[in-house]
């Protein structure tokens, strides 16, 4: 799982999106990869989703995205409302 895997997913998202929206889109496109990354993780969803957030943050220029300030709340992959980052695509 790396930024090269994320680029096609980012391009399917609206101009503004959240980390949760990205993760859900990634799972739809790459369910087997997400599950294989999840299984060995002792921290489960939270640890893996944090890793995805770090990849987004560390590769903003490559992915043509910019992290917003502060946090937003929306539904995570488990159906709970929780805080996460908001992103803006810079290529549209």
pLDDT tens-digit map of 45-90: 888 999 999 999 999 999 999 999 999 999 999 999 999 999 999 9
Number of structural domains found in the chain: 1
Strand order in the sheet with 86-89: 16-18, 86-89, 65-67
Q: What is the domain range of residue 9?
A: 3-89
Nearest-10 crossing angle of helices 44-58, 19-29: 100
State pTM to two decimals.
0.93
| Cα dihedral: 48, 50, 51, 55 (round 10) | 140
Assigned token pair, 62? 């490559």
pLDDT tens-place string over residues 11-54:
999 999 999 999 999 999 999 999 988 876 667 888 899 999 99
Express as a percent the part of the chain with pLDDT over 90: 84
Three-state SS at 31? helix
- Give the pLDDT score at 27: 97
- Give the pLDDT score at 41: 61
């Amino acid at each position: 799982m790396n930024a090269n895997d994320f680029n096609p997913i980012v391009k399917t998202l609206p101009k503004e999106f959240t980390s949760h929206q990205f993760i859900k889109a990634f799972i739809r496109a790459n369910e087997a990869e997400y599950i294989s990354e999840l299984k060995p993780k002792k921290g489960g969803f939270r640890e893996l989703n944090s890793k995805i957030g770090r990849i987004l943050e560390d590769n903003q220029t490559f992915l043509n995205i910019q992290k917003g300030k502060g946090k937003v709340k929306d539904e995570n992959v488990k159906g709970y409302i929780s805080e996460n980052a908001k992103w803006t695509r810079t290529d549209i």
